[in-house]
Amino acid sequence: MNRNTPVKPVDLAVRVCGLRLKNPVIAASGTYGYGAEYRRLAPPADFGAIITKTVTLAPRAGNPPPRVFETASGMINAIGLANVGVEAFLRDKLPGLRRCGALVIANIAGNTADEYARLARRLDGAPGIAAIEVNISCPNVRHGGVAFGTDPRVAASLTRKVKKAAKLPVIVKLSPNVSDIAAIARAVEDAGADALSLINTLYGMAIDSRRRRPVLGNVTGGLSGPAIKPVALYCVHQVCQAVKLPVIGIGGIRSAEDAAEFMLAGACAVQVGTATFADPGAARAIARGLAAYCREHGFGKASDITGALHK
């Protein structure tokens, strides 16, 4: 490069449903705790936003161990939504995260649509929460345990209830374990969601052939990490063609190129989960790498990458 040409700074900031993220890299729910745990290794300030571990109304102990296991280029987990409950979250966890100046998105889950609505209402008033991400991959106890995210009508009615309960932007997090993720996305869009994030983990299982036992205490779990990236890219690509809502891409992202792929497919931001376990510096490296990617491709700002896939 010509040494006399000043390198034009790349604007990494992106806008997602009214929020301004200083960069497109978001910590994925459940992989970053409540922010404090990684404060030294992967400071909240490195991320465009932080999504906290799913909270439920009451605290949850979670599943019996083992809860995590490594698989080929991935891992499965069955944490069982272990969390401190919404009240302890607001009281003990949120203040610290606020002091770091992080943009905080709270992720919620319930056993019934009413529980989701109550959680949304409770969080809506709380200072320091920028948006709500709704984890719809949970079993709906009222409907035989079938996940809320599986049926377009159920997902839509859940979205409507949460929207009614909260003035904050509502991001609905989609499950990939469905026949037609675009249909769910459209239903959720029509129901008033402000943004979509995808994908949550794929259903998976591991067996210990030596002990002839399922590895996980919960028998089955959720698959994440680089192994699922092609599935996640497929889902993001399908959903971006089906809806106009902003989409946040998730699944196996560990490099700036990975992040760029999701943005090219139409995502306006990305979440990083499993990669942080392997490399706590991943988010920072991805944000930097996206700036370099923009420079190479002549994009003035990171948001220009979104949808810039040649047809």
Partner 1 sequence: MTCSANPRPAESQTAVRIAGNRRVGAGVHLLRFRAPAIARAAQPGQFLHLLAPGMALLRRPFSIHDIDGDGIAILYRIAGQGTALLSRLRQGEPLDVVGPLGRPFAIENGRPHHIVVAGGIGIAPLQLLLRRLRAAKLSPLLCYGCATKTELRPHLRVKRIVATDDGSCGAKGFVTAALEAALDRYPGAQLYGCGPWPMLKALAAIAARRRLPCQVSLESFMACGVGACQGCVVKAVDGYRTVCHDGPVFESAAIDWDQEPVV
- CB 44 → partner 1: shortest distance, Å? 9
Query: Rounded distance, CA 22 to CA 287, Å?
Result: 10
Q: Of 100, 118, 179, 191, which Cα lies nearest the Cα of 154?
A: 191
Residue 12: how many CA atoms within 13 Å on its side-chain side? 23
Among the listed residues 138, 235, 240, 294, the single catalytic one is 138
CB of 44 or CB of 225, closer to ligand FMN: 225
Which residues does 273 contact at the CB level (< 8 Å), separation at least 6?
27, 28, 29, 30, 31, 32, 224, 250
The answer to whether residues 14 and 303 touch, using CB atoms and an 8 Å cutoff, is yes
Helices and strands counted in the chain (H then E): 9, 16
Residue 209 touches which member of partner 1, a copy of itself, ligand FMN, none, C-beta under 5-8 Å by kind: a copy of itself
Phi and psi at residue 34, in whole multiples of 5°? -110, 20
Residue 287: how many CA atoms within 13 Å on its side-chain side? 22
Residue 38 touches which member of ligand FMN, partner 1, a copy of itself, none, C-beta under 5-8 Å by kind: partner 1
Is residue 138 annotated as part of the catalytic site, yes or no?
yes
Which of 73, 91, 153, 164 binds a copy of itself (CB under 8 A)? It is: 73
Binding site for partner 1 (CB under 8 A): 30-33, 35-41, 53, 61-62, 64-70, 72-75, 77, 79, 82, 96-97, 99-100, 208, 211, 213, 215, 225-226, 274, 276-281
User: Catalytic amino acids?
Assistant: 138
- Residues of this chain that interact with a copy of itself (CB under 8 A) are 71-74, 76, 146, 150-151, 177-180, 202-207, 209-214, 219-221, 223, 225-231, 233-234, 237, 252, 257, 260-261, 264-265, 293, 297, 308-310
